[in-house]
Structure 1
Amino acid sequence: MKKEILEEYEKVKDKISKEEFLKRFEEIKEEYDVGFMDDIDIARMIVGEYLNQKNEPLSEEKDYKIAEIAEMEGADRNLKIIGRVFRISNTRSFVNRAGKEGKVANVLLADDTRKIRAVFWTPNIKLLKKFKEGDIIQIKGFQVRGGFAGRKEIHLQPRATVKVLNPEDHPHIPEYKEEIIPIAEIKEEDQEVNIIARITRISRIRTFERNGKEGKVASLELKDETGKITYTLWNRDTELIKDLPLKEGDAIKILGAQTRKREGEIYLTHHGLTRIIKGDFKVPQVEEKILKIGDLHEKRDVTVIGLVTKVHDKINFERADGTTGSLRSLEIMDDTGTTRVTLWHDDADLDIKKGDIIKIEGGNVEFDNYTSSHRINTNWNTRIIINPEEDTSLLKVLREYKEHLKPMKISSILEMEDEGEEVDVVGRILSLEDPREFQREDSVGILRNMELADDTGVIRVTLWDEKATKSLNVGDAIKIENARVRLGLYDIELSVGKT
């Protein structure tokens, strides 16, 4: 037990054993999903429960003392609080350790002394319909507990009540102003802002690992008449995409978003007191701009559609800090040109095949000095749609191009005169040699020869390195993509390497 938690336990050691204290500690972590609290705050919550354990059940006849927020203490009981509503979070769902589903929402209240968070649990969620931001409300039936960073907060009890009051009777309570800021004016980090915008793109939910725990992240691309910005949802907040639900084209109001900065760019993030509201807000409609491959130039956040003409093997790598990553390259084409696309991390595992049509939303175009051409990189905010069902003239053209990617007959390959071309072929293994090692200048290579046959002929194929170690047997029917044509001693042969 940590020293600071042990100090909290000492306050109630005459009421609960250390083992029971620790058991309750773990139960709260699971049951209430208190992701906004650290360990010491949970310990203080338990202490508050035992200091208040003599509280009697609520009743309408009980006398309640109005408490100023700044003066409330954990041992106080029979209090009622009056404050103006400044924030109402979206309701979140959770499942406790016992497998029972619950709900939780946060409300930020203020009087003329301070602000405080009020936590509404499953029995209290229905009370949220009684008020809105700006209302002055009275709450009866709560416990004062330690919250995030040691700040006090109130947790409503199952029989808590909420009443909306006449603001004229409480002129001393601070006013609420809902100021909407245009996206173009969001320039400082660590600010709280309200915006109205339209969703132009929703990324898929991605997973990551931090400190041995798995997390989730998703992002919304938002746009108003002044600009665009990324809005990030973390962990359980990603479930809002399904719960609200949110879709591309929706107009939304976000109250209490936090501004952050990453790589010099400002973005917004959702936190425990933020609320997303769908509505018929006046914001520009989404106008999707497809960038043609022939017009690629260095630019961030582009949308491109192309036919996959080549899929390279996935490459795994290790960073300097010991973490691992992966990438995979594709080559795509449209009716204006071809380019290379690099898929990073989770995107590298997408089931993309040669002949698929892909739509890349949110890619970044960079100039590749090695090839002296532009290429597209995906990032954590990119969305890739495989074989989109849209009916556009470009997709119709790409579907026609797809017909020309069909495997060639072996007889046609044997008639080719130029080396270096890449072809696809389908056939059955007629003969297969064992893999052989050979010495390169700075490494050991592996090669393996075989004969491949179809109903038109037989061709010699050489497999190199990783391809030479694949599990193959005589009689197997296989498809080879991007085999390179080369002139052998007596006839045309195929070479199968990295591509």
Structure 2
Amino acid sequence: FTKKDGNEGKVLSTIAADDTGSTRLVFWDDKADEVDGIEPGEVIGVSRAYTRPNRDGSDIEVHVGKSSVIKRNLKDKIDAVETITPFRGTSSEPIGMKNIAELKVGQNDVDIEGKIATIYEVRTFPRKDGGEGKVQNIEIADNSSMIRVTFWGDDIDEIAEAKEGDVIRILHGYVKEGFKGGVEFQVGNKAEITLNPKGTKLKQLDLSKITDNASSSSTGGSSEPLGKTNIADLSIDMRDVDIEGKVVTAYDVKTFTRKEGGDGRLRNVIIADQTSKIRVTFWGDDVDTVADIKEGDVIRILHGYVKEGFKGGLEYQVGRKGEIILNPKDSDLKQLDLSDVSFETAPTKASRVLIGEIDETHEGKNVEVCGIIVDMGQNRVFYDACPTCSKKVETVDGGYNCKSCGKVAESEPRMFYKITIDDGSGSIKVTLFGSVGEKLLGMSAEKAKELVAKSGKEDEPVRASPEEIRGRYIAIHGRVKKFQEALEISSNGYELADPVQEIKRLKEVIQKEMK
């Protein structure tokens, strides 16, 4: 196939099994050449591979990339049986027909029926194999609620003639959490689709009387309102939560092209209460509601939800259920002195990504990667820092000079070094500062400087480290930054990982995503 960069790519897949189960192995480029001519029954070993969902999301596969290692014609005896099917988690009995309001994340083999409220445009996307994929969303409702339904590939052709107001029945689908929270119904490869089924009672349904399930909790059903909450107490995934704040900054309205076609509008506003500040996002008609808002105004918003912002931190979203009140008469915030408010943005939990998928869209965002430390970036693991601002100092006439603070009587060592992490999908450099670097190396910056002074060798701290750094399996989190045109991670913490437990965790995560 032809890659995005115009070069030729290769892919080869096969089914492999041991005595516990089987899965599809996908070999890419040079790794496909390494297994060319492989025969049924041959025993192979693969290390430093990675897992990901298959095309329609119904199963998981093991992908063998450029960093993977393949061993062929092993002598091990594998008691695999042909009847074993690929790992799909525990099987369950068909759930049958459910009201939309009863749907919960994780339900499999479930049937629904609803009246079509909205049909979005078909979207295309590049698949990993170089081909083109298709996806289409619709929104349907029954007497209990409304939900977004996602169709993939050939299933889109089955609803090509569908129109708003039609009734659709879908059998053997599954429920997962939607992109913006709530629940979403997925039409997988087992599904059966019927338009305007005979005997349906939904043709006369009045859609204006139906509430939207997209804003319900991720476990299905409606969540209890959280009521008014201080900004500092907000956390990611809070739903149906009320806030009130004084406007610090009101940004201009932005327009954008929707994925399903047409123009959209959004506006961001920064508000603060006595505890902290947060960015608030208004969409569509709500932009008109805040058209005249200005700095110093007080705004009260009911029934919104909290998500991770584009560059980390928290962001408050005014969804379709949101209610907006400008300058409420009973507010205590009109006299709030913003200079007394702590404007630190709350950090958020980084999302786990494959290194090979990190690109410019991740720059400035918090991520977590898990892989093997394959290299140390340099021998020296610390620098001489200004004790006031921690910036690097220069030696001048037997003393020290800081560009920010001027002459410094004494410097202090500060840990700073880079490692390279590889997870099988790619590799990336990670910078470790201060206590994070000290923890991994197993010594303080002062101890590292002392070892260098005694031995005269810059790499002595690495040699003397109580643990071998290279080869350790680690889950590391931090912010993606660009350094000399290359993307790197500036780490703010890590945990040592168990490869076996990590594989189990990945399977569980992928299974949840598939449902």
Q: Could you tell me the TM-score, scaled by structure 2's length?
A: 0.25
Higher helix share: 1
Q: Could you tell me the TM-score, scaled by structure 1's length?
A: 0.26
| Bigger relative contact order (CA 8 A; separation at least 6) | 2
The higher radius of gyration belongs to: 1
